[in-house]
Amino acid sequence: MKSPIYLDNQATTPLAPEAFDAMLPWLKDNFGNPHSAHKLGRQTAAIVDVAREQVAELLPKQGNVIFTGSATEAINLAFGAVYEQLKRGRNKIIVLETEHAAVRDTATSYVKFGFEITFMPVDSYGIVSIEALKSFVDNKTALVAAMLVNNEIGVIQPVEAISELAHSNGALMLCDAVQGYGRVAIPDNVDMIAVSGHKIYGPKGIGALWTRAGLKLPTLIHGGGQEKGVRSGTLSPALCTGFGVAAELCDSNLNKDMEHIEKLSDYAQQLFDDWLINGSTDQRYPGNLNLRRNGLDVGRLMSDVRDVAFSVGSACASGSGRPSHVLTALGLAPAEVKSSIRLGFGRYTTMEEIEEAANMINSAVEAQLK
């Protein structure tokens, strides 16, 4: 059976063959526990250290990388920083309206501890206005969270300026860089950064939280005291290695990957020239194209075009039947939201695949709209 053309690289990316090969020995013969004191343990601990350095190479200097099971877990861990802030009378958390559920729902879970949550609106291009944000951030703000690249529409937020504003008011800044890590430069003035292995051609089941040196977090998972005591549990050397090698590949292929993805995106825009692009067309990561054809029933389109793996809204929200909160935040009407699709290109996508997918999607659309 021919597998579908994969255009859903924001949901997850295929595992890089190099990462797969590097993981195998740590699943097979080198099975030591990286936290054991004997030789087998020390061997695996050394490989975890190498992976930590590889992951750190794409992050700001002067910080620590804590391995987690996912970026969602990293974000949950990062929010713990607000407890110290509360002791200083800071009880406000500001997150962008268009954040991933991992940020939005974690923020909301702090209401029960006395925090007030603001979901900061974005403009019709999906970008937050620094001027507008100025009237929300004040000396009661504990934390501001803003993503680097949006997972649904690919727009890039002015994270550096948001962080400057947060800091000038004494607040901490968390950046969910899941969709930008390894592809788009991460400003180095933020305090915490969440990243994920499976979005950069690494394995699923591993993420990381980078914290600025000196920043203390409360324990999220109690136990054997691994990961500086904040996240206990035995690390998987295989997953760490896969993540590390994937990060190293992103680093060494940065320009090549970007050139390839820009070519794919330019070609896709030609092939889909009857569609409108949702979100900013210039402040964006080109591997994401969120497109709209008014009047289209995307549910029907998905069932008509089963040989292309694409998405409507984010992978997590698409099964829920809820209209995308991101597209709604741009001011799109419910019918416009429901006639939008997301195409995501990656390192392994080919021009031929884009062409074939565009033919299949566009013919199904013409048949539906005629």
What are the residue numbers of the active site?
316
Q: Is 209 helix (H, G, I), strand (E, B) or coil?
A: strand
Contact between 240 and 52 (Cβ < 8 Å): yes
Encoding tokens for residue 49?
A: 């250290």
Contact between 135 and 145 (Cβ < 8 Å): no
Measure the N-to-C terminal CA separation of the chain; round to a whole number of Å.
Answer: 31
Task: Identify the residue among 19, 71, 128, 309 touching ligand PLP (CB under 6 A).
Answer: 71
Q: Which x/- pattern over 132-151 shows residues binding ligand PLP (rule: CB under 6 A)? A: ---------------x---x
Q: What own/partner pairs with CB < 8 Å and gap ≥ 24 does 132-136 have?
A: 133/94, 133/162, 133/165, 134/165, 136/94
Handedness of CA 231, 234, 239, 245 (dihedral sign): positive
Give dist(CA 147, CA 346) in Å, integer: 20
311 touching ligand PLP, by CB under 6 A = no
CB of 133 to ligand PLP, least distance (A): 19
Q: Which x/- pattern over 251-280 shows residues binding ligand PLP (rule: CB under 6 A)? A: ------------------------------
CB of 237 to ligand PLP, least distance (A): 19
179 touching ligand PLP, by CB under 6 A = yes
114 Rama class: left (phi>0) / alpha (psi -120 to 50) / beta: left
Pick the stretch among 37-45, 175-183, 224-232, 287-295 that binds ligand PLP (CB under 6 A): 175-183
Task: Identify the residue among 64, 85, 106, 196 touching ligand PLP (CB under 6 A).
Answer: 196
- Give Cβ neighbours of residue 129 (< 8 Å, ≥ 6 apart): 123
Closer CB to ligand PLP, 243 or 272, in the complex: 243
104 touching ligand PLP, by CB under 6 A = no
Pick the stretch among 106-114, 167-175, 176-184, 337-345 that binds ligand PLP (CB under 6 A): 176-184
Pick the stretch among 33-41, 45-53, 68-76, 135-143 that binds ligand PLP (CB under 6 A): 68-76
44 touching ligand PLP, by CB under 6 A = no
Pick the stretch among 65-73, 239-247, 259-267, 323-331 that binds ligand PLP (CB under 6 A): 65-73
Give dist(CA 25, CA 12) in Å, integer: 24
Task: Identify the residue among 8, 176, 248, 257 touching ligand PLP (CB under 6 A).
Answer: 176
Give dist(CA 62, CA 211) in Å, integer: 9
Distances (CA, A) of 111 to 92, 115, 215, 260: 10, 5, 23, 44
Task: Identify the residue among 182, 202, 207, 346 touching ligand PLP (CB under 6 A).
Answer: 207
Q: Which residues bind ligand PLP (CB under 6 A)?
A: 70-72, 100, 102, 147, 151, 176, 178-179, 196, 207, 315
